[in-house]
Amino acid sequence: MHEREFFIRKAIGWALRDYARTDPDAVVAFVTEHRDGLSGLSYREATKHLDL
């Protein structure tokens, strides 16, 4: 998760956000547990439609 490439970091967030449509609790648990390892961009994209 320590990716430097912009589009890879964005895609990680998109994938998590897409998964949150079917299992938001799992995504919240994942981003909470891995917050320090996710880039800010990945975190923002992943949680864009979640209530955090």
Taking residue 45's Cβ as centre, other Cβ atoms within 10 Å add up to 21
pLDDT, averaged in runs of 10, over the chain (52 residues): 86 97 97 95 96 82
**Per-residue model confidence (pLDDT) at position 52:** 79
pTM of the model: 0.88
